[in-house]
Amino acid sequence: LHAVDGVVLIDQKVALAGKVTPGDSAGFPVSITQAGSYRLAGTLTLPDASTVAIEITADNVTLDLNGFSIIGPNVCTPNPTRCTYSGGAIGIKADAPVGVLSPANVRVMNGMVKGMGGHGVRMMGNGTSVEKVHALMNGGPGIVVGAGRVTDSVAELNGSGAAIVALIAQGNVSLSN
């Protein structure tokens, strides 16, 4: 499904149908295997804490959450932070196996990743960025961008590891991680 401006739109129905890009099978994860612009057109709800929501394997991808959320079933409570799941799947993943370069120039913005079993967002390639993303109640770290930037984002009630990791971190808030 394409918007008028050529951006690929993703909602629950599209995710479950598959074929967002070549090699994307029905259901989760949504596999983004081609450079381009992608935008959520609705909230994505995952069936369990062990399912990756969106996996990006291509360089030069922009994913606009468009004010929507990616939601898993994990719940975390504060003081100390404890989560029902820890060590599960990642909400938005752009991280290749050891020995393979992770996707570069990946940009994620404008939404929430909540209730994942593992990381909210994990992107390890060069030139990656996360902007205006709220990572809430994930079993692992909130936002990890290895060789990139995290700007104007929030990490709250995430269960393990660091709240926000980036080469450059500006204007972020970290609460009860």
> What single string gives the DSSP state of each residue in 41-70?
SS-EE-SSTT--SEEE-SSSEEEE-TT-EE
2: CB partners within 8 A, 6+ apart:
8, 9
Whether pLDDT at 173 is above 80: yes
Q: What is the mean pLDDT of residues 97-102?
A: 90
Output the CA torsion sign for 43, 49, 51, 55. positive
Task: Tell how far CA 129 is from the center of its chain.
Answer: 11
What is d(CA 118, CA 144) in angstroms, rounded to the nearest whole number? 11
Task: Assign 14 to helix, strand or coil.
Answer: helix
Q: What is the pLDDT of residues 3-44, one digit of tens each?
A: 667 799 999 999 999 999 999 999 999 999 999 999 999 999
What is d(CA 68, CA 12) in angstroms, rounded to the nearest whole number? 11
Give me the amino acid identity at 33.
Answer: T
Q: What is the pLDDT of residues 67-86, one digit of tens each?
A: 999 999 999 998 888 888 87
Give how far Cα 100 sits from Cα of 1, 95, 103, Å: 31, 9, 9
The mean-pLDDT minimum among 43-47, 106-110, 143-147 falls in 143-147
Integer-rounded Cα radius of gyration of the chain: 15
Q: What is the mean pLDDT of residues 124-148?
A: 95
Structure tokens at 144: 């990890």
pTM for the model: 0.95
What is d(CA 146, CA 47) in angstroms, rounded to the nearest whole number? 28
What is d(CA 160, CA 137) in angstroms, rounded to the nearest whole number? 10
**Beta-ladder partners of 92:** 54, 121
